[in-house]
Chains A and B, each alone.
Chain A
Amino acid sequence: MTDDERYAGETGGDDRRPSDEGADDLFVWDGLRPPAPGRRDYGGAPGAGRREDRPRRPRDDWRPPEHPTGAGPAPRPPARDGGYDASEEWEEWLEPEGPHGPETIGPLPERRKGPRRRRLSAGAVLLAMLLGFFLAGLLDARTIRKDVEGRPYGALRSLQLALLAPMTGLSGLLRADDLGSAVAGALGRGEQQHHKLAEVKKSEKPLWPRAVTTKRPLRLYVAGDSMNQVFGSSLVNLAEETTLVKGKNDYHVSSGLSRPDFYDWPQQLVDQIVDFRPDAAAVLFGANDGQDVSYEGKVLKVGTKAWQDVYAKRVGEAMDILTRGGRRVYWVGNPIMKDAGYRERIAMMNRIYAAEAEKRPGVTFVSTWAALADEKGSYTAYLKDENGDRTLMRAPDGIHVTRAGGDRMAQVVLGVIMKDWGMNGRPAPTPGT
């Protein structure tokens, strides 16, 4: 008996087909050509189980079914009442040209003999993989190291860096990383050219206040982390519906202000100010910032006084870059979060944003905390929309927002922007209009 037969149940025994019980049975193989797993020789295919030198089967590995059946092709079932032909079902649904009936598995050569592939032993494949990973690692050592360095501080990061050290050392010694960088550069993936902060100059006319018109719209730069994927596009969409705003949403997943070694937001802000020339910026950071930071060679524990001081300094620096030249900045606070510990950290960072904004003219802190909380001020995934329907506002992670949630936050922020720029003559658009 083959292995497949042992698992084959009673398929081969047509006289015991369950359809004999009645045609209305919910799951009976109703008049169809039954699949015959016993026909396939799983063990015979290259790469499958050895037969001759198979070790003795462990005691509980398998127990024969109560009704072992014979192998061989399953007989074609008779046509049912009404002249139904089993093969018709296959042909008319999915089967005729396709090789993919339920009994057809694995690689396709079975239906059409292709050229033979040579196979390797498992050890040789391991060597091939080690060689491949090693050489790729040598060529790409700089990128891999940068990637690992950007991960949260902790034992895992330290271990990964320690494991990488010989690789990066050898790569530098052999100049393989230079070769890798040269190839990356030739493929257009080399180091980017950046602007300097000195290029951000004060414009001749004041950026604010001024009349905002359709011909001379407010140029709004929206920046942040993955929260901005939805919130940022909601804000740009709603703002542009006024026809008085030209927006740009710039978000980078997993980024923030805690770890400039992972993503250099200050540099990105400079680049975008020079390239996009915004009159105002709305930024939302913090979702990834609740982690340890490195400052002057020390790793500071998240939430400590020293951490808060360093984080406030980085927030202040970002605000100073954005306001340089008279730009208005709307620093958006994160909404309430589901997890209690995480919520506390977010609240702490919101307090830092508010305090730093208070110190700088031109920066307004906009809280969205309450906009996504329930009437008791607690976290809720659902809130009522304009029509009174309960609408999902939050993603399953309890952090990110749905489109409705993003729209609600955007409405709050846009209201502040419109008031600040004297656009009150126009009603703030509501989502879906």
Chain B
Amino acid sequence: MLFPTITFAIFFLVVYAANWLLMPRLRLWKWFIIGASYVFYGWWDWRLVLLLIGATLVNQTLGVQVHRARGRRGSTAAARRWVILAVAANLCLLGVFKYFDFFAVNLNDVLGALSLGAPLPLLRVILPVGISFLVFRMLTYVIDIYRGQLAPAPTLDYAVYTAFFPYLLAGPIARAREFLPQLTSPRDPRGVDSSRAFALILGGLVKKMLIADYLATHIVNELFASPQTYSSWEAFWGIVAYSVQIYCDFSAYADIAIGIALLLGFELPANFDAPYTARTIQDFWRRWHITLSSWLRDYLYIPLGGNRKGRGRTYVNLVGTFLLGGLWHGAGWTFVFWGLMHGTGLALERARADARHAGGLREPGATAGARALQRLAVFAFVTVAWVFFRAESMGNAFAVLWRLIAGLGSIGTAVTLPVVGLVALGIAIQYVPRRTIEDLEAGFSRVGWVGQGLVLALALFLIDVLGPAGPAEFLYFRF
């Protein structure tokens, strides 16, 4: 079920009303929200619900086992065995559904090149939507129990956590220890933060339907499908447009998910914070897909040794973390290369900072001009990296980048005023001060339910009129 559809609007109205009616009877509410979430997920394919239920029960069992094995003395060898089993089970789930064919094809190619033959069978199983997000959420549960930061939740609570429909398909990756405490008492129906929720939902719809989808259909898709027909000027704008498209698409989903959860009385972690205003790649990853980057930090980078094992190892850890982070996005060499670019960028940035620190040099970026240049450089780097993220193959990515040089001499017709305007708008909205947004939300909160309803009506009408016919899937569903 897609958020920007009439079907979801009807579904949500029913769920919203039942949510607050059942809230005083918390146990009943939990059963209800699990059922509603399964309907939401099963809308794609009912078999996915069976997978979700199975994964929930297995992880809950393993989480309890880890906790029991920890006993009173803290971490034990038995607990460690259980947590390794849990991690392996979750990675197997991801591996079978998402990566098996990728590795089988590449291994077969290698074996074939060595004349060893014996090709592995290719499963070609359906990729359950949102499975990467699901697995990462479930991993936080068992690992945090192992670390002693979380006690196992009742199975019913855990089932709500794994299935909660606002974040089920594309995040944010709410951690078990962030979300589960919110299930221990009923949410307060007297204080729904509707102004912020509506602002997030409407802002998300504008970003998705008016900016991202327009740029996708008017320049980006065709540029990546047939790069050879585009001029340098068009290729430049098409590449920048994809940068804006992916931000407006993915952050829109997160905003809508957070807004919907707020209406139901729950808080989800923020996932974006004006990423294209970043002055360093490190800063970019503090602002882009925050719940993923902090997940990678806490469950991958730090266990790898973080920055505790010397400079060289730190750089290796950074590159390794982002290589795997790239692979998390998809089973393909383009994603691996995208991760490699970011990992290498972070490592180089770190090495440069280390060298400056050792030489006693001042940190750059003291002047406004220098800061602007830093932002431009980071945006350019991130934008070029997105080409690999978007492309169907490495060849396709290089073909698109090659047009920046090979297409000189003509202007073309793809770069229109709306394209340039929406690219500029998609970047400009990230420079709006947070205080201004907060003031607007506060002002919106004072108009009461009638005022909010009127704004909602006008905004929904305009979004539908100006948006594309028929909803397009969110990009991050495939991850």
Contact = CB atoms under 8 A, between A and B. Distances in A.
Interface of A: 3-4, 6-11, 13, 16-18, 20-21, 25-32, 34-35, 37, 40, 42-43, 45-51, 54-55, 57-58, 60-67, 80, 82, 84, 88-89, 92-95, 97-109, 112, 114-136, 139-140, 143-144, 147-148, 160, 180, 183-184, 187, 189, 229-230, 233, 236-237, 240-241, 249, 253-254, 381-382, 388-390, 392, 394, 396, 402-403, 432
Interface stretch (B285-293, B336-344, B371-379): B285-293
A306 B393 CA distance: 45
B265 interface: yes
B287 A93 contact: no
A94 B293 contact: yes
Nearest to A254: B470
Given A8-B149, A126-B20, 13 more contacts: A27-B147, A47-B188, A105-B174, A108-B270, A112-B434, A114-B438, A119-B193, A125-B192, A128-B449, A133-B456, A136-B456, A140-B461, A396-B124
Select the residue from B75, B108, B228, B392 with max chain A CB neighbours within 10 A: B75
B127 interface: yes
A4 B181 contact: yes
A127 B147 CA distance: 45
A62 B149 contact: no
B450 A128 contact: yes
A61 B26 contact: yes
B74 A132 contact: no
A247 to B, nearest CB: 8
A121 B146 contact: no
Interface in B267-321: 267-270, 273, 282-283, 285-287, 290, 293-294, 297-299, 301-303, 306-308
A118 B195 CA distance: 8
Given A94-B285, A104-B269, A136-B456, A62 B184 contact: yes
Contact of B302 (A32, A37, A130, A390): A32
B118 interface: no
B177 A107 contact: no
A136 B229 contact: no
A124 B286 contact: no
Contacts of B72: 66-67
Nearest to B307: A92
B452 A128 contact: yes
Given A50-B186, A120-B449, A7 B464 contact: no
Select the residue from B84, B108, B187, B449 with max chain A CB neighbours within 10 A: B449
Contact of B119 (A18, A51, A112, A390): A390
B106 to A, nearest CB: 10
Select the residue from A94, A101, A131 with max chain B CB neighbours within 10 A: A94
Interface stretch (B152-160, B401-409, B422-430): B152-160
Contacts of B434: 108, 112, 114
30 contacts: A8-B149, A10-B74, A10-B149, A16-B148, A18-B70, A18-B74, A18-B75, A18-B147, A27-B146, A28-B147, A40-B181, A48-B185, A57-B26, A60-B154, A61-B27, A88-B307, A94-B285, A99-B270, A100-B290, A102-B294, A106-B268, A117-B442, A119-B194, A121-B189, A132-B452, A148-B6, A187-B466, A249-B222, A390-B105, A394-B124
A47 B193 contact: yes
B457 interface: yes
B2 interface: no
Contact of B446 (A50, A118, A237): A118
A62 B146 contact: no
A411 to B, nearest CB: 16
Query: Ordered nearest first, which 7 A-B pairs have the shortest CB separation?
Result: A132-B456, A49-B185, A131-B453, A65-B151, A106-B267, A135-B457, A114-B438
Contacts, number: 377
Contact of B175 (A102, A106, A107, A394): A102
Nearest to B262: A47
Given A37-B177, A55-B26, A93-B306, A7 B192 contact: no
Contacts of A236: 226, 229
A115 B442 contact: yes
B196 interface: yes
B137 to A, nearest CB: 13
Contacts of A120: 191-192, 194, 448-449, 452
B209 to A, nearest CB: 13
A105 B193 contact: no
Given A131-B456, A136-B461, A9 B150 contact: yes
A40 to B, nearest CB: 8
Contacts of A160: 6
A18 B144 CA distance: 11
Nearest to B197: A125
A18 B226 contact: no
Interface stretch (B9-17, B52-60, B231-239, B382-390): B9-17
Interface in B10-38: 13, 16-17, 20, 24-27
B190 interface: yes
Contacts of B453: 127-132, 135
Given A7-B151, A27-B146, A115-B438, A105 B446 contact: no
Select the residue from A25, A107, A126, A160 with max chain B CB neighbours within 10 A: A107
Contact of A47 (B265, B350, B457): B265
A279 B469 CA distance: 30
A104 B146 CA distance: 21
A107 B392 contact: no
B112 interface: yes
B460 interface: yes
Contact of A180 (B146, B148, B461): B461
Given A43-B185, A94-B297, A127-B453, A58 B26 contact: yes
Select the residue from B83, B189, B464 with max chain A CB neighbours within 10 A: B464
B84 to A, nearest CB: 7
B150 A80 contact: no
A203 B149 CA distance: 78
A114 B181 contact: no
Contacts of A106: 267-270
B184 A129 contact: no
Contacts of B67: 65-66
B154 A30 contact: no
A34 B464 contact: no
A272 to B, nearest CB: 16
A11 B145 CA distance: 10
Nearest to A85: B308
Contacts of B175: 102
B74 A128 contact: no
Select the residue from A92, A143, A187, A241 with max chain B CB neighbours within 10 A: A92
B370 interface: no
Given A105-B178, A114-B442, A139-B461, A20 B184 contact: no
Interface string B194-231: 11101000000000000000000000011001101100
A398 B456 CA distance: 40
